[in-house]
Amino acid sequence: MTAPQILCCGEALIDMLPRETVAGERAFAPFAGGAVFNTAIALGRLGADVGWFGGLSDDLFGTQLADALSASRVDHALAARSGRPTTLAFVTLTDGQARYAFYDENTAGRMLSEADLPALTDATDALFFGGISLVSEPAADSYAALCAQSGERLVMMDPNIRPGFITDETRYRARLAAMMARADIIKLSDEDMAWLGTDAATLIAEGAHVVLETRGSEGVALHLASGVTMRPARRVTVVDTVGAGDTFNAGFLAGLSRQSLLSRAALRGADAAALSEAVDLGIQAAAVTVSRAGANPPWDSEL
């Protein structure tokens, strides 16, 4: 099997979502999820040549995750398989707000080591990193090492910062700073930007070529050294926002792939119009995702 053009590196887990049985008992239903997993799924459905790398269990939930990847045309041959359990995230709703209880000790995803990292080939043009996989050690340090080994490959990063999950803020901030200094494309929400205490101009001065700042219903600000271009959000009836940002990331990378811009040189030579086209594909794909329940990205035939 040939190496994928885009390799998404990070968490895949099982979201245990609250349900009620026909007898009225509380229950939880297992759904495949995780921010980086969702981005890989969305890329596969958009027709990109994509793979996923992370720690994957041989247990029944790991099989569920592997089957979901295959069903959405995502190559997972590089995944580090082990007999450790799958990470579980139990979700409870209080006044409509989701709360998460993570079961992540000694899991296949969290215990990913540098020895598990894949040997990258010339066939892989771009790497994507993000999500809570950049928080939990030792896996977080392993992903940081893979980012440092990326060579001249294009690197996109979406920290998707969740302050409540961070246990060692000093180490986490240092890890993010090192990875963002290497990244060519950084996607952040306005809340992420505030937590980091930075701005797009600073990130570009530190080495990023593109900063994508998502602003909810306002749309996405495309920041380049040459200036800022605002791309409007699409007006849709929102069912829920789960997976919206992950799908946007996939749409943007798929847009770059369709324009043959998945290299550092091509990206730096692209103008705002070409990059805006990729942003618009991300917005279009995310609009479909928020219009239906759960992280259910669109297939290319739906756009």
Residue 50 lies in a domain: yes
Instruction: Report the pLDDT value the prediction gives residue 303, as an integer from 0 to 100.
Output: 86
How many structural domains is the chain composed of? Answer: 1
Q: What is the DSSP letter of 107?
A: -
Largest CA distance in the chain: 61
Name residue 42's amino acid. A
- Residue 191 and residue 135: Cα distance in Å, rounded? 17
- 1 is a domain residue: no
Give the per-residue pLDDT at 291. Answer: 82
Q: What is the reported pLDDT for 233?
A: 83
| Helix, strand, coil % over all residues of the chain, rounded to 5 | 40, 25, 35
Position 54 scores a pLDDT of 98
193 or 97: which carries more pLDDT confidence?
193
Q: Which pLDDT score is estimated for 263?
A: 95
Residue 285 belongs to domain spanning: 6-302
Mean pLDDT of all residues in 163-190: 95
Q: How far is it, in rounded angstroms, from Cα 163 to Cα 157?
A: 17
For 113-156, write each residue's pLDDT tens digit: 999 999 999 999 999 999 999 999 999 999 999 999 999 999 99
Per-residue pLDDT reduced to its tens digit, 53-110 = 999 999 999 999 999 999 999 999 999 999 999 999 998 877 766 778 889 999 999 9
Helix (H) or strand (E) holding 258: helix 244-258
39 lies in some domain:
yes
**74, 274, 279, 134 alpha-carbon torsion, rounded to 10°:** 60
Determine, yes or no, domain membership for 265: yes
Predicted local distance difference test score (pLDDT) of residue 1: 45
Q: Is residue 256 part of a domain?
A: yes
Residue 245 within a domain? yes
- Residue whose C-alpha is closest to residue 255's, from 189, 303, 190: 303
